[in-house]
Structure 1
Amino acid sequence: MAWRRFFDTNRRQMPSLFNGVGISKSGIKVPQGFFTTKSSNLLPSPSSPSPLKSSIAPIRGSLTALTNAFKAMRNPGVLKLTITKRFNSLWNRYGNRGWPSSARPNRLDLERLKIPLIFTAVLLLTMPYVVPVLFKFPPLSFFTHHPPVLVFTLMAINAAVFLMWKDYRFLKYLMRYGLLKSHNVGNPVTLLTSTFSHQSFMHLAFNMIVLLSFGTSMVNMIGPSYFTQLYIGSGVVASMFSLVWSVLKGAQVASLGASGALFGLCLFQTYFFPNQGVYLFFIPIPMPAWAVFSGISTMNVVGMFARWGGYDYAAHVGGSLYGLIYAYFFSKKTRETRKRYRNSPVWWSY
């Protein structure tokens, strides 16, 4: 009965593939040569991108896998070719969904990454020296004595930029600096400024709830200077990952949002407190942070290929990796500082 329903359903959707197939009481009758059809005729053309339709994998293509399986069992020598064709089929269907893409990035696309890479490298290398000095002078020195206010200030900046998107007078500037465009990075500063832009109110609200939940405790733990370096660094590296992934896929996308920076904060805190209880939305049961963000990180990596919804999964992965790397070096520096103070002589004064 399962095979009967399978053929009935797919015969209505793809009548040309089931030409000559009949169903009787004795079973399913197929014409000679049905399972020896060349799989290349059933695969979509690489030059024609598949439109974005659903987040669930369609049934179409199951017949191709079945045909390839029969061929591989009859002749093991074609197994490698079958796996290669199947991978190419999945890549064309999910890896490039809805985007005009090319087989490989050309030289011009790679040249576009030069200036953003230089900007990212210079920013990451200079922040450890510049940011601590800036927090010694007003108005940033205020955050040294009131660390949680820095988190509320970041939330206010994100909210202000969101309101500016609603005013047409700022639209020209926000389209230039508030969006990260993979096909036209006119100004590398958008690697940072695009992290303060949000597409909708729900997008903004969700990110700000995460920032409030993790940011207030973290800024008290590591201080406003290190917190700023982590937040900005995670956001910029997330944007850089998004650019590199788009160029490798030959895609043209625009990205915005603070999700990459927030993933950096979450993975940083998970590194030091892996068993800390984390509440997910609509789930009133706390779960270990390592389990929650391991699952989310896995979904982000898979989402880079499957392209579920309109999310920038590459930016999420980039921000998460930077948060873990920053946590490792921060932990190493903290241990060295403690060791240095333990070995130094202690002077008591009265």
Structure 2
Amino acid sequence: MSTPISCQFILATSTPNDIARDQRTIELEGIVMSKILVSSLSSSICRSAQAGPSRIPYRSFSSAPPSAGRQVLGRITPKRIAVPRSAVENGQYSSASHEAFSNPSLPRRSIWRPIVFCAVLGGGGYVASALYTNIDTQTWADKLGGSSWWRKGQSQPSDREIHRAKQLEGARSAQKTLNSLPTTLSFLPNFLLIPVLRTYVMASEFYLNTPSAQLAPMGLIFVMGNVFVWWKLRRLEPFMRKWWLHRPIVFGTKRDEWRNCVTMFTSTLSHQSLPHLAFNSLALFSFGSAAYSYLSSSPSLPALASSTHTPHFLAFLLTAGLFSSLGSHLWTNIFRYPALLKALSHPARISSPQALMSHQGILPSLGASGAIYAALTLTACAYPDSSVGIIFIPFVSVPIGMGVAGMVTLDLVGLIRGWRMFDHVAHLSGALFGFIYYRFGREAWQWTREKLGAQAKGSGLF
């Protein structure tokens, strides 16, 4: 950055003739100083384009202090004026828009590759989750005698039967592990072995007795907590910035663009600051549990047998996170990036593309807020009579519909006003996905499972 050049205009206060003479002197000095300023800036631009940024030395136009009979009128700080490199080298200006769009150092808009990546990963994960649910359900149905004669024509056991059988199986497995721990940890003294065994018993009881609607969000929170710890390890910081932080604009090759698509998923599990992680974890546990309960219900009868609803919940969050990341990415490349190119083509531009990216708000993003917004909107649509509390104002609750409307309005205002503290487009995209999934999500899940061979459940014996 060049150092500002300051010059002082001095006016004599002795006689009117002196005043007129000094005014003519001001005009002449202004012309001379303007020529000096333009020449110095032109030479500085030539150096920055070829050998990197340089500093314009401070030029003092008058080293003598003003006399007692003179007063200072003001100070002029000239702004930086950039000249395109073609004008400096060839002596003429080229088309500004053509220069911005044809510059090989600038990246092209990244649109189709992120769409393909999100469609493949989101659709593949959705189908894989449905297939796992069918396989696990059929496995437990076979264990419980599915299609047996004593079921009186019911081909599948009920979800309650499967849940109780899985609890009993988990308890037997935990008891077997507990019986073998004293032998496995026999090298520990008793004052250490006893706390280890008690801790294992408490953890096993918590896992067996906690509803799956709470266990699934807690598992995701555990994963996000580990990623947060990785951010705090100095040695892993380059790796985290490369693979766990999404940049919507990539300066590189097509391979770099494909690699950058991976961060559209990993960034949804990544948090750099503790308050960010804490707020998202609290919201995920609250609204994720409610969304899990809604997704566990069937949209129509006869319902499909399900040994677990966790894959459906994870598939919902996966597609919601990818949808919100893709929405933010496309918004930047379709709307913000052309604005960046327009700024680059301006004849008064002197900043580098990377500096203008920061100026235009094209910044990296991370966090699970988009998926959480989807869960929040889904909960508001499924349970419109519920209320939500305000964390900063204890003992105050508002209807969930009003709360969601206020948050969406805030993001819309932030998007229009250009606020850059949050990724407002990702929030709005997540909210839109939650509304769409409320209308068609459970039907799409049931249709996918049916196409993969799922069977309708019976009433069972209980």
**What TM-score does the superposition give when structure 1 sets the normalisation length?**
0.60
**Residues 177 and 190 of structure 1 are in contact (CA less than 8 Å); yes or no, is this contact kept in structure 2?**
yes
- 1:188 corresponds to which letter in structure 2? C
Is this contact kept in 1: 2:294–2:382, CA < 8 A? no
State whether structure 2 residue 431 is matched by structure 1 residue 320.
yes
1:301 aligns with 2:387: no
Q: What is the aligned partner in structure 2 of residue 277 from structure 1?
A: 387
Partner of 1:249: 336
Aligned position for 2:376 = 266
Q: Is the 1:234–1:264 contact (alpha carbons within 8 Å) kept by the matching residues of 2?
A: yes
* Matched residue, 1:177: 243
Residue 193 (structure 1) shift: 0.3
CA contact (8 A) 1:230 1:323 kept: no
CA distance in 1, matches of 2:294, 2:110: 39
Q: Deviations over 1:177-225 (max 9, x none)?
A: 1101011143311111001111210011000010111122332442212
Partners of 2:399 and 2:119 in 1: how far apart?
34
Q: Quote the Cα distance in structure 1 between the aligned partners of 2:224 and 2:460.
A: 48
Q: Give the secondary structure class of the aligned counterpart of 1:254.
A: coil
Determine the structure 1 residue equivalent to 2:440: 329
1:200 to 251, 268, 273: 273
Which of residues 130, 143, 153 is equivalent to 1:132? 130
Higher-Rg structure is 2
How much does 1:273 deviate?
1.0
In 2, Cα distance between the equivalents of 1:167 and 1:203? 18
Amino acid corresponding to residue 310 of structure 2 in structure 1: P
TM-score normalized by the length of structure 2: 0.47
Matching residue's letter, 1:175: R
- Amino acid of the residue matched to residue 154 of structure 1? L
CA distance in 1, matches of 2:389, 2:101: 45
* 2:397 equivalent to 1:286: yes
- Check conservation: 1:191, 1:236, Cα contact below 8 A: yes
Shift of 1:347: 9.4
Give the unaligned 5+ runs of structure 2: 1-96, 141-161, 168-210, 251-256, 296-308, 338-359, 449-455
Q: Shift in Å at residue 111 of structure 1?
A: 4.2
Q: Any idea what SS the aligned residue of 2:388 has?
A: strand
Shift in Å at residue 125 of structure 1?
A: 2.8
Q: Where does structure 1 lack aligned partners over 5 or more consecutive residues?
A: 1-101, 338-343
Identity among equivalent pairs (%): 27
Larger relative CO (CA 8 A, sep 6+): 1 or 2?
A: 2
Residue of structure 2 in register with 1:162 after alignment: 228
Residues 1:112 and 1:256: Cα distance change in structure 2 (over 3 Å): same
Asked if residue 237 in structure 1 is aligned to residue 323 in structure 2, the reply is yes
The SS at the match of 2:261 is coil
Question: After TM superposition, which residue ranges in structure 1, 4 or more long, deviate above 3 angstroms?
Answer: 105-111, 134-137, 141-146, 331-337, 346-350
